[in-house]
Structure 1
Amino acid sequence: MARLEWTDLPDGIRQRVEKVAGSPASGARTQPGGFSAGMASRMSFEDGRRLFVKAVHASSQGTFDLYEREVGILRTIPRELPAAHLVESFTQDDWTVLVIEDVEGRHPRKDAPSDTATVLDAIAALAAVPPPADLPSLADELAEDAESWRRLEAAGLLDETTPWCVEHLAFLRTHAERVDAAVAGDRLVHGDLRTDNILIDPSGRARLLDWPWAARGAGWEDALLYLLDLRVADAEADVDPFLAHPVFHGSTTEDHMSLLAAIGGNWFEKCRWPAPPGMTALRDFQRREAIASVAWIAQMSEG
């Protein structure tokens, strides 16, 4: 999907960003990845400063709402977190704009075990920091997902999942419905960690980006979903050794299958819906994640 460019923004918005930076813009490099058409650019300024700028118009309602939610979260997360922190945000003329620290780095390689270990270390550090008190609980956020397999069955949509799902419906439904217990906790959860939401900086530290889905949970959920992302990229990827990482301490295989069952069912439901405005790649992503989720559950249940 083509993102908005810096030059697509109205003059008044660009001038306001330059005021925040304290210097005129000298360059903008649009970042690939993600599902929205909002602007997401690494900006350089004449005084040498660099910032990351995200902007979207209210006409792209889904993305606009996510950016607004991310502002609220970035204003409250502790500065010591391995994140790219908010410099300033504003809403003007139906645009919402986030000005964020620019992080020099590279995305982790999905086929590099050392990068995966670095990411899991960052998630463990994240889970060790007390979350802002006003974040929603992940259990509440997943309450609708917990009932997804019942809805798919009631709507006669199981044939649009996979043959394994049809054969093991009761297993999937039971595990999805206990997801609230599986993810219960009071640790900070990012909620949307994929390789395109992570940068490894020159020091070798993983920095976590894009925070609209942050919540309170058990603390291992981001790590499991990151490993799922690796399996989406390569169905044969051997991620099971990483389940011994300390970030998973206290969780069980039953917990892992519960989370995968809940989100997998939800993705099977949503991938059939029309894409939100400005997010045309989302539904294909959700179906691929759903298929990978149940394939991993099948493997776990056989082990």
Structure 2
Amino acid sequence: MPTDRLTDVPADVLAAITEATGPVVKTEPVGAGFNSEIAAHLHTDSGTVFVKGLRADHPRVWTQQREAEINPYLQGIAPRLLWRLQPAGWDLLGFEAVDGHHADYAPGSPDVPVVATVLHRLGQVPCPDLPLKSMPDRMAAYSDTPELFAGERLLHTDWHDTNVLVTGGQALLVDWAWASRGAGWIDPALWVIWLISAGHTAPQAEACAAALPAWTEAPATAVDAFAVASARLWHEIADADPDPWTQRMQTAAQTWAAHRGDSGR
């Protein structure tokens, strides 16, 4: 989890941040998220910046590079990257701050159609020529037919509600570490699992996704196979890290896979 105090990092790293932002008036730690050792809103006289970072020798420091590379392609869909710093063995990203709340996926939430809108917009973004992971490769260990997940669409793939910020009636997507290339219906499919986890039935969750052309045009056999693969993936995750949220996601994925199997498609 991120550090609770930015003062936990070396003075020369703090100095580099201050040079980029100006004098920091207030630091507000951000507790959500798993990919950063530093995560905080820095309030300055000229505005607020969200900073996230890792030590350069951290095994997940590649996520910083991924986010820095992909951000220019995400105008209007993700907060804008303002700068990247790599001082004294650290890798830091500074984003424009978003004054919003994490998406509420519960049945009846006004956030659900807002998230559907950003999913539709993401589906229209050309996939950049970057070394993104492919969904067939990512799911090969969980499916006998991973080639069904191939495609040339840009995918976010991590629809945890903390990765979707709702502000001014719009949604912005953060934490692009797991951006991938694949079939365009995969992000809606992954969202379906999160909707079930938040209390929707499987048919209700799929009805939310039905507003998206990528979902309605998806081959049913491919979606069925993806549901089975996702259930296997979440079983592995929950078995390795059996906390309440991973177990809830495992249950949701199994519920969806059972629904796809029972649908007769």
What's the TM-score once normalised by structure 1's chain length?
A: 0.76
How many residues get paired? Answer: 259
* 2:159 corresponds to 1:193: yes
Cα displacement (A) at 1:262:
2.0
Cα displacement (A) at 1:257:
2.6
How many percent identity over aligned positions?
25
Per-residue Cα deviation, 1:109-149 (whole angstroms, up to 9, x for no partner): 1224431111111011111011111242533432xx3333x
Q: More displaced, 116-125 or 289-298?
A: 289-298
2:141 corresponding residue in structure 1: 147
1:216 corresponding residue in structure 2: 181
Aligned counterparts of 2:42 and 2:33: Cα–Cα separation in 1: 18
List aligned pairs for 1:158-237, cutoff 5 A. 176-181=143-148, 183-202=149-168, 204-234=169-199, 236=201
1:290 corresponding residue in structure 2: 250
Per-residue Cα deviation, 1:263-293 (whole angstroms, up to 9, x for no partner): 33233334444xxxxxxxx663444423321
Checking the alignment, whether the CA contact within 8 Å between 2:81 and 2:93 is kept in structure 1 is yes
1:166 corresponding residue in structure 2: none
Q: Which 5+ residue runs of structure 2 have no aligned equivalent?
A: none
Aligned counterparts of 2:63 and 2:4: Cα–Cα separation in 1: 16
> Relative CO higher for 1 or 2, CA cutoff 8 Å, sep ≥ 6?
1
AA of the residue aligned to 1:290: Q
Aligned partner of 1:239 among 176, 201, 205: 205
What's the TM-score once normalised by structure 2's chain length?
A: 0.86
Aligned counterparts of 2:261 and 2:136: Cα–Cα separation in 1: 26
Checking the alignment, whether the CA contact within 8 Å between 2:136 and 2:182 is kept in structure 1 is no
Higher strand share: 2
Per-residue Cα deviation, 1:231-268 (whole angstroms, up to 9, x for no partner): 22336573132132124131144322322322332333
Per-residue Cα deviation, 1:163-209 (whole angstroms, up to 9, x for no partner): xxxxxxxxxxxxx222322x22212111212210011112x111110
Aligned counterparts of 2:63 and 2:250: Cα–Cα separation in 1: 22
Change (3 A) 1:92 1:2: closer
2:130 corresponding residue in structure 1: 134
Q: Which 5+ residue runs of structure 1 have no aligned equivalent?
A: 149-175, 274-281
1:84 corresponding residue in structure 2: 79
